């Protein structure tokens, strides 16, 4: 009997897999992959979308993560309906894809909670991150002492791209001594455990850290919505060609439906 068990298990697995494949065929399926920063928002939007009377029981969502560039590749190859990108289009992106902006997001400069810096100007941020200032004693209002530890994201991160565009500009680079982290979580954990650390994060990942006001404006949702806080970036659903059918309706829903706008406004910045 022992020998039969693996085969039986295999057969059961195959049966289950074919069932799973068969089920969504009755409803339209929207598959998404991409940015880990967008995924929480996209999940909430999808939940609200399938509750709309018009689409109840007719639409299904499969949402995967992986990072902005994964989403863009997937959609350009036709593996998913929509890619999620938290970075702007780049010249080297594959051709034939359309970036549909549907929300904005605040990017905050963050420090350890024991080092509540009152404000930083763009020049100060550039000096700190490019390595021109290397000690907290040169930063007015800092309660930390000793060298500044830069904690940033890897080149392929959408948040890194946003930080570069918003705060550093096109010519300045983050200093080579910076520690680069592969995910939002690792970066936040590193800043939490190091009193001398400074980094940046999407607003929804800043809990437990100190958000440094930028040019005197605190990094809050209210300020980002009113446009006073300048450090915002765009969230995109990327489609292969112009979006059609249910995918198009979903994008329009995310952009303008009152329910969707309420969801976006809970932790992110609506377009209007």
Partner 1 sequence: MNVGGIAARLPGRHGPGRSDAGPRAAGGFWTDARVERILGAVACIVLALIAGMVIFVFQKAWPSFAHSGLAWFGGGGDVDLQLEDIFSSPANPADYVYTLHAWPLLWGTFVVTAGAVLIGMAFALLAAIFIVEFAPSGINRVLEPVVRLLAAVPSVVYGLIGILVIVPFVGEHLISQERQESVANVVQLDGASLGVGVLILTVMIVPIMIAIVVDALRAVPHGWKEGAAALGANRWRVMWTISVRTARPAIVAAAVLATARALGEAIMLSMVAGSASFAPNPIDGITFLFEPTRPLASALVENVEGLSVVPFGETLFAFAAVLLVSSMFLSLAGFAAKQSMRKYGVRP
Chain contacts with partner 1 (rule: CB under 8 A): 1, 3-4, 7-8, 10-11, 14, 66-70, 72-73, 76, 90-94, 134-135, 145-151, 154-157, 173-174, 176-182, 186, 189-190, 193-194, 196-197
Q: Kindly state the DSSP code that residue 238 receives in the 8-state scheme.
A: E
**C-beta of 53 vs 176, nearer to partner 1:** 176
CB of 185 to partner 1, least distance (A): 10
CB of 177 to partner 1, least distance (A): 5
Identify the H or E element spanning 60: strand 59-63
**C-beta of 2 vs 54, nearer to partner 1:** 2
Beta-strand ranges (E) seen in 64-181 are 82-85, 97-111, 149-153, 179-181
**C-beta of 20 vs 92, nearer to partner 1:** 92
**C-beta of 91 vs 227, nearer to partner 1:** 91
A 10 A CB-CB count for 232 gives 19
CB of 43 to partner 1, least distance (A): 20
Tokens found for residue 168: 């550093």
CB of 159 to partner 1, least distance (A): 11
Identify the H or E element spanning 163: helix 158-163
Distance from C-alpha of 98 to C-alpha of 203, rounded to nearest angstrom: 26
**C-beta of 46 vs 152, nearer to partner 1:** 152
Burial (CB count within 10 angstroms: exposed 0-12, middle 13-18, buried 19+), residue 250 = buried
Q: Which residues pair with 83 in a beta bridge?
A: 33, 238
Tokens found for residue 126: 């550039």
Distance from C-alpha of 247 to C-alpha of 129, rounded to nearest angstrom: 40
Identify the H or E element spanning 122: helix 122-130
CB of 35 to partner 1, least distance (A): 10
Instruction: Identify which of 19, 22, 23, 30 has the alpha carbon closest to the alpha carbon of residue 59.
Output: 30
Helices 258-267 and 245-256 cross at an angle (nearest 10°) of 60
**C-beta of 87 vs 255, nearer to partner 1:** 87
β-strand 210-212 against 97-111: which pairing, if any? antiparallel
CB of 223 to partner 1, least distance (A): 30
133, 262 Cβ separation under 8 angstroms = no
CB of 231 to partner 1, least distance (A): 20
**C-beta of 11 vs 23, nearer to partner 1:** 11
């Amino acid at each position: 009997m022992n020998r039969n068990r693996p085969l039986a298990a295999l057969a059961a697995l195959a049966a289950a897999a074919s069932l799973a494949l068969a089920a969504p065929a009755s409803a339209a399926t929207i598959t998404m992959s991409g940015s880990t920063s967008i995924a929480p928002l996209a999940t909430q939007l999808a939940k609200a979308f399938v509750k709309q009377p018009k689409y109840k029981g007719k639409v299904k969502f499969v949402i995967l993560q992986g990072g902005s560039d994964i989403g863009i590749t997937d959609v350009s190859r036709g593996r998913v309906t929509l890619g999620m990108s938290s970075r702007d289009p780049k010249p080297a992106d594959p051709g034939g894809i359309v970036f549909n902006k549907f929300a904005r997001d605040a990017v905050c400069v963050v420090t350890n909670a024991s080092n509540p810096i009152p404000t930083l100007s763009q020049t100060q941020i550039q000096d700190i991150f490019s390595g021109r200032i290397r000690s907290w004693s040169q930063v007015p209002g800092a309660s930390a002492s000793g060298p500044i530890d830069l904690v940033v994201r890897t080149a392929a991160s959408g948040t890194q791209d946003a930080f570069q565009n918003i705060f550093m500009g096109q010519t300045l680079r983050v200093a080579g001594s910076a520690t680069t982290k592969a995910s939002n979580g690792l970066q936040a954990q590193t800043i939490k455990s190091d009193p001398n650390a400074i980094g940046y994060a999407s607003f929804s990942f800043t809990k437990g850290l100190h958000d440094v006001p930028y040019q005197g404006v605190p990094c809050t949702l209210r300020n980002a919505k009113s446009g006073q806080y300048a450090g915002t970036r765009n969230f995109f659903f990327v489609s292969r060609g112009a979006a059609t059918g249910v995918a198009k309706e979903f994008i329009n829903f995310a952009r303008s439906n009152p329910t969707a706008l309420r969801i976006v406004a809970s932790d992110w910045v609506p377009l209007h």
